[in-house]
A = this chain, B = another copy of it.
Amino acid sequence: MLKNALLGFLNYSPMTGYALKQQMDGSTSHFWHAKLSQIYSTLKVLEEDGMISSIIEEQETRPDRRVYSITESGQQQLCVWLNEPLTETGSTKSLLLLKLFFSAQLDKKAIVTQLRLQRQLHEQGMIFYQTETKALIAGIVKQHKGMKKDALFWEATRRFGELCEETYVRWLDETIQIMEEKL
């Protein structure tokens, strides 16, 4: 699905692989992310498939850049994908939960330390969504008034991130208390 994510971003405007990475990190990273190496190789495949096209821009002070643009086929493909209904819920993988599931043999101290560290990290995440991510969206809307409709959807995903982190913090507090009482 990285293919579709890249098409989605290139549908906003032409960009380099490097810029696509930054866009993802700044917007979808809490529900979709990729390494630069994967982005570059996926862009290559997308171009071979005619979904995007690229031109090399020479720069004086910076290295040459390959700027990708979405083609008509690409826009069509993006549209098809967006219209496909999702009939299942996504399946997650969480190392924290997996470890915790098997942690009966660990001592109380190690468990509580682990949980407290996670609590801190998720609290930071929550604050990040409430401030920086929110400001980022507001900033784009201010610059590009035509993006107001898009921003409604970005805000929905931001809000989900915020609620998830809130849930994590709540659950971790609850779990730390139980572990301290009953272990």
Chain A: residues with CB nearer than 8 A to chain B? Answer: 1, 4-5, 8, 11, 27-33, 78-79, 81-83, 85-106, 110, 113-114, 117-118, 121-122, 125, 149-150, 152-154, 156-157, 159-160, 163-164, 166-168, 170-171, 174-175, 178-179, 182-183
Contact = CB atoms under 8 A, between A and B. Distances in A.
A158 to B, nearest CB: 10
A97 B31 contact: yes
Given A28-B98, A31-B98, 17 more contacts: A5-B98, A31-B97, A32-B98, A82-B105, A86-B99, A86-B118, A87-B117, A89-B118, A90-B93, A92-B92, A97-B157, A97-B160, A101-B153, A101-B154, A159-B171, A164-B164, A167-B167
Interface on chain A toward B: helix, strand, loop, or mixed SS? helix
Contacts of A88: 121
A152 B167 contact: no
Residue from the set A78, A82, A88, A163 with the largest chain B CB neighbour count within 10 Å: A82
B101 A157 contact: yes
Q: Which of A30, A97, A163, A166 has the most CB of B within 10 A?
A: A97
A183 to B, nearest CB: 7
16 contacts: A4-B98, A8-B98, A85-B114, A85-B117, A86-B99, A86-B114, A90-B93, A100-B157, A101-B153, A101-B157, A149-B183, A152-B179, A152-B183, A156-B175, A159-B175, A160-B171
